[in-house]
């Protein structure tokens, strides 16, 4: 692959509806888009899934930009790349920065797939032609508001719903949802809001036939989760705690989770995703694809990984219209009766709407191998 140019753009997008979790509320999103261009005219695209504040992981859009320009892009551009797997190898000595690394690596994967004229899902080993879709529902102002929202999403056809919980907004609430929707495929996501002192409270969730409870305990823990899982029948799914193949290996070994939420950004890219996928297959651990309120570009990557066979549950891959007045790709991501088609076009299979992206752009910077070489000697 001959990468001639990398373009970073930062855009701002208003969310159609604010999104509240146990740690904060997102009203809009600043997004860093990475475009890698090759000599033969193809462009690969991806986005950093960092949000505006360091409340999900330690990264933000404002920490990603200087890491990209100072460390990651010089590594990428220092010599030609044969295969996208080499990108994560080059980034190995740089600590952390998972979302930023993934954004670059995923753009290279998209470029690679386009150069081969094949869909990204197929290049990764995906086996599905359509995927099932779930929806993640933020904390609402009342129980009634939540029940109304769920009724709407059930009507739209979503295959499972995920309710955000926190202490005091949990047992009674989920009981009310279960009473109203006895057969609904339902799960809860705590975003780290509990401790082991809450075992008695969390045990009450066992009667509600939840598919799983996501990340009940601290973002950096896999030990207490193993203890908690011993007390619960409901499977624990980890999100924040898993950054790598080795994290997942240790969590499986300890019994810290029975299900894995995979976010490509959180684990540093698609190569790591593929390693985790193989590990979960070998251990019969179901996976599903989490979301970070992505634009259509990040969403397209999420759809591609969800086509892999071990992605056994619906993911948080709602269609464009769930998040945005207007998305930045053509066509927009659509859902039909709770399913989405995996695109059969080359690469991510959706065309970035470059004119609209340019309108939304607040900063832009271009990098070439030559300029990087000059800068390295400054």
* Residue 251 or 292 with smaller CB distance to ligand OSB: 292
Q: Which among Mg ion, ligand OSB, none contacts residue 50 (Cβ within 5 to 8 A by kind)?
A: none
Q: Which among ligand OSB, Mg ion, none contacts residue 293 (Cβ within 5 to 8 A by kind)?
A: ligand OSB
358 is in an annotated binding site: no
| Annotated catalytic residue within 5, 263, 341, 370 | 263
State the residues that interact with ligand OSB by CB under 6 A.
56, 136, 189, 191, 239, 290-293, 316, 318
Q: Which among ligand OSB, Mg ion, none contacts residue 291 (Cβ within 5 to 8 A by kind)?
A: ligand OSB
**CA–CA–CA angle 3, 4, 6 (5° rounding):** 85
**Shortest CA distance to 351 belongs to which of 44, 122, 112, 100?**
44
State the residues that interact with Mg ion by CB under 5 A.
189, 214, 239
Provide, rounded to whole angstroms, the least separation between the CB of residue 318 and ligand OSB.
5
329, 149 Cβ separation under 8 angstroms: no
| Annotated catalytic residue within 29, 101, 162, 164 | 164
Residue 30 φ then ψ, to 5°: -90, 135
**Shortest CA distance to 283 belongs to which of 313, 314, 251, 237?**
251
253 is in an annotated binding site: no
Provide, rounded to whole angstroms, the least separation between the CB of residue 215 and Mg ion.
5
Q: Residue 360 class from Cβ within 10 Å (0-12 exposed, 13-18 middle, 19+ buried)?
A: middle
Residue 351: enclosing H or E segment and its boundaries? strand 351-352
206 is in an annotated binding site: no
Q: Report the distance separating Cα 208 and Cα 188, nearest Å.
A: 11
In Å, the largest CA–CA distance within the chain is 66
Query: 186-189 and 213-214 as β-strands: parallel, antiparallel, unpaired?
Result: parallel
* Residue 187 or 300 with smaller CB distance to Mg ion: 187
* Residue 90 or 160 with smaller CB distance to Mg ion: 160
Residue 263 annotated in active site = yes
Residue 148 annotated in active site = no
Q: Shortest Cβ contact with Mg ion: which residue? A: 239
Binding site feature residues for Mg(2+): 189, 214, 239
Binding site feature residues: 189, 214, 239
**Residues designated catalytic:** 164, 263
């Amino acid at each position: 692959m001959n990468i001639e140019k990398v373009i970073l753009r930062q855009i701002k997008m208003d969310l159609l509806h604010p999104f509240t979790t146990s740690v904060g509320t997102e009203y809009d999103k600043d997004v860093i888009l990475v475009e890698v261009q090759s000599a033969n005219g193809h462009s690969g695209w991806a986005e950093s899934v960092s949000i505006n504040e360091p409340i999900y992981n330690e990264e933000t859009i404002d920490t990603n930009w200087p890491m990209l320009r100072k460390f990651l892009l010089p590594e990428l551009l220092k010599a030609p790349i044969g295969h996208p797997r080499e990108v994560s190898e080059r980034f190995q000595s740089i600590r952390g920065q998972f979302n930023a690394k993934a954004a670059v690596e995923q753009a290279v994967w998209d470029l690679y797939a386009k150069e081969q004229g094949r869909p990204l899902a197929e290049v990764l080993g995906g086996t599905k032609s359509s995927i099932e879709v779930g929806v993640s529902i933020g904390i609402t102002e009342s129980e009634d508001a939540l029940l109304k929202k769920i009724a709407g999403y059930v009507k739209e056809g979503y295959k499972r719903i995920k309710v955000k919980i926190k202490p005091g907004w949990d047992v009674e609430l989920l009981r009310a949802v279960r009473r109203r929707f006895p057969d609904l495929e339902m799960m809860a996501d705590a975003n780290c809001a509990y401790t082991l002192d809450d075992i008695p409270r969390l045990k009450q969730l066992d009667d509600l036939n939840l598919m799983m409870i996501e990340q009940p305990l601290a973002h950096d823990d896999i030990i207490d989760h193993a203890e908690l899982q011993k007390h619960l029948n409901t499977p624990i799914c980890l999100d924040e705690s898993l950054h790598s193949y080795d994290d997942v290996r240790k969590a499986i070994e300890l019994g810290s989770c029975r299900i894995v939420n995979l976010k490509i950004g959180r684990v540093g890219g698609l190569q790591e995703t593929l390693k985790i996928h193989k590990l979960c297959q070998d251990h019969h651990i179901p996976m599903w694809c989490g979301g970070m309120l992505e634009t259509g570009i990040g969403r397209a990557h999420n759809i591609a990984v969800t086509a892999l066979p071990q992605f056994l549950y619906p993911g948080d891959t709602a269609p464009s219209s769930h998040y945005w007045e207007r998305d930045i790709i053509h066509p927009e991501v659509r859902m039909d009766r709770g399913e989405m088609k995996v695109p059969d076009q080359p690469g991510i299979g959706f065309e970035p709407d470059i004119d609209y992206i340019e309108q939304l752009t607040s900063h832009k910077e271009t990098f070439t191998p030559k300029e990087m070489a000059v800068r390295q000697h400054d």
